[in-house]
Amino acid sequence: MTNHLNPRLALSIATILVATALAGCAREGKDPNGTQASVHADLAFHNGAIYTVNGARSWAESIAIDDGRIIYVGNDAGAKEYIGPQTRVVDLKGRMVLPGMQDAHIHPILGGIEANGCDLNAANTVDEYIAIIKKYADEHPHQPWIKGGGWSMAAFGPGALARKELIDAVVPDRPVILMSRDGHTTWVNSLALEVAGITSDTPDPADGRIDRDPKTGEPSGSLQEGAGVLVADKAPPDTDAIRDAGLRYAVKMLNAYGITGIQDASVYEEDLKTYHRLDAAGELSLHVVASIWWEREPGLEQIEAIKKLRSNYTKGRVDASTVKIMQDGVLENYTGVVLEPYRLKGQQDVHGIPMIEPELLQQAVTKLDAEGFQVHFHAIGDGAVRQALDAVEAARTANGELGRRHHISHLQLIHPDDQPRFRRLNVIANFQPLWAYADDYVTELTLPFISEQAATYMYPIGSMERGGAIVAFGSDWSVSTANPFEQIETAVTRMGSLGETDEPFMPEERIGLPEALAAFTINAAYTNRNEQDTGSLEVGKLANLAVLDRNLFDIPATEISETKVLLTLFEGKPVHGRPDEL
Ligand SMILES: [Zn+2]
């Protein structure tokens, strides 16, 4: 045994204490006889299968809500005293209710802009991409640039590049810039390269690569990581109206999935402004933790500007006390930082590209930790994960445990030596569970190129869970679907949620349904520093909840992805569906 208190246990104790204190406030009105008078709810649900995700993971039948907060959770009989003449009472007809879910890693504004632009997410082949690009260009003849994204590297086949000529054939006369689904590669046409002045003489930037034709050395049309910025910087910026429309799209979509809280995985000041415009208009029906992007070029001196952003924009439903540090790229283009070199023909010693020198990373995280920031790392390869943990350890040594809840996203490879360090250092393991099955990205673009040892610890969600780490989930939308039910299904089956595979990938890394639900509710709320108000259905917390069309515990795991949300409440108000239509 260790003398560490199980973090999840500590969390639930804290939750109970807070809930009890708040429950006292909600009911403190006394009648003239001196006895406690109950507050009557404005909205009450009964006859449900309410999965509370409280410390005991108990179920309830009824929930009563007043002024946006939960004033009762329990059985139907006990709910009666909260129901008065003004209470709207809704029969759940046995349906399952979950706390409003939270996505701990998502790109809502970018994703929404992409969905409203030239959106390739629904297509899967190069021919389909080209057809969509042509159709979009034809339908938007006055747009000076064609912008969009959502294409997949896997569609081009192993080792093949997304080439400029494919787009030139349908749009030769306007620049076209299309971000890949995973956000790491930019696909452009010849005119876009020309406008950006990229030729065979242009050197690769420090944080990326200009893909080139192996015979001629000409830029071939795909730009890896930071090289994409060379073109993106030349494109007209998105107007406020475009940005607002993108966020509006995302909020609506997320509410429809039962999501009421998010962590935006990379924001700039213009994103913070976008959130506040929607919040001021009463349209931001989400709690937002915004991760401020850490620039690769300036070093520690950027912390002053980040502090200014935090103080200017942490208000309303937005909390800008997180900093996002992207420490590596991805394995599919060999930019993910790995401990053992990639197995590449003719190239030895390729270990990926660390975005921040490990020494500087330790200094940055130590300073950010001391200044009250949570650090949200992007780390895919086992080398980047180790560098991130080393940085948190350095901060811990210098500052002590300040409770900042640093977390690492993606975690495709975690060396077994590093797995226990998450719990020891209180680092949250933020997985994107939809990726944890044997799709083409894994079988064709990754497994053949990483070391044999690394291939044995891919997306080790079960190991991390069993080892006592706090596991939170996020979608990384628009990289992958934001539908939490598809992600939960893959977490519990390790298979494609839409029937893409029928063999579980590393089945020992499956987790149970209660653990998967916790990762999207209480643990994601903990990651978002908001578990005192959200993440479970308990007295005193905000009435953020989702009513489902089926009970997830009563169906085969392979049907979880088909779940629909009938009603979502945010702070007690319907933001998707209607209570009278249940
Ligand atoms: Zn991301």
- Mean pLDDT, the chain, whole residue set: 92
What three-state secondary structure class fits 573? strand
Distance 472 CA to ligand 1 centre (A): 14
Q: How far is CA 172 from CA 146, 190, 204, 271, in A?
A: 11, 8, 25, 32
Distance 447 CA to ligand 1 centre (A): 22
Distance 325 CA to ligand 1 centre (A): 11
In the chain, % of residues over pLDDT 90: 84
What pLDDT, on a 0 to 100 scale, did the predictor assign at position 38?
Answer: 65
What pLDDT, on a 0 to 100 scale, did the predictor assign at position 502?
Answer: 86
Residue 181 — very low, low, confident or very high, per pLDDT cuts 50/70/90? confident
Q: What is the pLDDT of residues 468-494, one digit of tens each?
A: 999 999 999 988 899 999 999 999 999
Distance 149 CA to ligand 1 centre (A): 14
Q: What is the pLDDT of residues 80-127, one digit of tens each?
A: 999 999 999 999 999 999 999 999 999 999 999 989 999 998 899 999
pLDDT > 60? residue 37 = no
H or E stretch at 166: helix 164-168
What pLDDT, on a 0 to 100 scale, did the predictor assign at position 276?
Answer: 98
H or E stretch at 54: none
Distance 530 CA to ligand 1 centre (A): 21
What three-state secondary structure class fits 352? coil
Distance 83 CA to ligand 1 centre (A): 44
Distance 409 CA to ligand 1 centre (A): 8
What pLDDT, on a 0 to 100 scale, did the predictor assign at position 125?
Answer: 95
H or E stretch at 207: none
Distance 2 CA to ligand 1 centre (A): 34
In SS3 terms, 145-159 reads as CEEEEEECHHHHCCC
Distance 326 CA to ligand 1 centre (A): 9
Distance 578 CA to ligand 1 centre (A): 32
What pLDDT, on a 0 to 100 scale, did the predictor assign at position 333?
Answer: 84
Distance 106 CA to ligand 1 centre (A): 6
Distance 416 CA to ligand 1 centre (A): 24
Distance 11 CA to ligand 1 centre (A): 26
Residue count of the chain: 582
pLDDT > 90? residue 175 = yes
Distance 218 CA to ligand 1 centre (A): 30
Q: Which neighbouring-strand residues pair with 43?
A: 65, 88
pLDDT > 80? residue 512 = yes
Q: What is the pLDDT of residues 286-300, one digit of tens each?
A: 999 999 999 988 899
The CA distance from 144 to 137, in Å, is 10
Structure tokens at 261: 């809280």
Distance 486 CA to ligand 1 centre (A): 18
Distance 227 CA to ligand 1 centre (A): 18
Please, what's the largest Cα pairwise distance for the chain? 92
Average pLDDT over residues 525-554: 98
Please give the single-letter amino acid code of residue 343: R
pLDDT > 80? residue 147 = yes
CB 261 within 8 Å of CB 573:
no
Q: How far is CA 239 from CA 111, 236, 242, 245, 377, in A?
A: 15, 9, 5, 10, 29
The CA distance from 253 to 360, in Å, is 39
Q: How far is CA 367 from CA 234, 268, 406, 426, in A?
A: 34, 20, 13, 18
Distance 245 CA to ligand 1 centre (A): 20
Residue in the block written with tokens 């973090």: 7
What pLDDT, on a 0 to 100 scale, did the predictor assign at position 6?
Answer: 43
CA angle 1, 384, 392 (to 5 degrees): 50
Which residue from 306, 443, 409, 289 is spatially nearest to 364, judged by alpha carbons?
Answer: 306
pLDDT > 90? residue 431 = yes
Compute how many other C-beta atoms are within 10 angstroms of the C-beta atom of residue 12: 20
* Pure H helices in 104-153: 108-116, 126-139
Q: What is the pLDDT of residues 202-244, one digit of tens each?
A: 999 988 899 999 999 999 999 998 999 999 999 999 999 999 9
What pLDDT, on a 0 to 100 scale, did the predictor assign at position 17?
Answer: 42
pLDDT > 70? residue 532 = yes
pLDDT > 80? residue 32 = no
CA angle 516, 517, 522 (to 5 degrees): 115
Higher pLDDT, 156 or 573: 573
* Pure H helices in 233-346: 240-256, 269-280, 303-313
Distance 386 CA to ligand 1 centre (A): 19
Distance 265 CA to ligand 1 centre (A): 6
Close Cβ partners of 299 (under 8 Å, ≥ 6 residues apart):
360, 363, 364
Average pLDDT over residues 513-542: 98
Q: What is the pLDDT of residues 299-350, one digit of tens each?
A: 999 999 999 999 999 999 999 999 999 999 888 888 899 999 999 988 889 9
Please give the single-letter amino acid code of residue 418: D
Distance 527 CA to ligand 1 centre (A): 15
Distance 177 CA to ligand 1 centre (A): 19
Distance 183 CA to ligand 1 centre (A): 8
pLDDT > 70? residue 33 = no
Distance 150 CA to ligand 1 centre (A): 13
Which residue from 507, 436, 441, 506 is spatially nearest to 471, judged by alpha carbons?
Answer: 436
pLDDT > 90? residue 52 = yes
Distance 387 CA to ligand 1 centre (A): 18
Residue 27 — very low, low, confident or very high, per pLDDT cuts 50/70/90? very low
Q: What is the pLDDT of residues 129-143, one digit of tens each?
A: 999 999 999 999 999
Distance 185 CA to ligand 1 centre (A): 13
Strand locations in 160-207, DSSP E?
176-180, 185-188
Which range, of 20-24, 314-318, 462-466, averages the lowest pLDDT? 20-24
Distance 353 CA to ligand 1 centre (A): 17
Distance 377 CA to ligand 1 centre (A): 10
Residue 25 — very low, low, confident or very high, per pLDDT cuts 50/70/90? very low
Pairing of strands 49-51, 59-60: antiparallel
Distance 107 CA to ligand 1 centre (A): 6
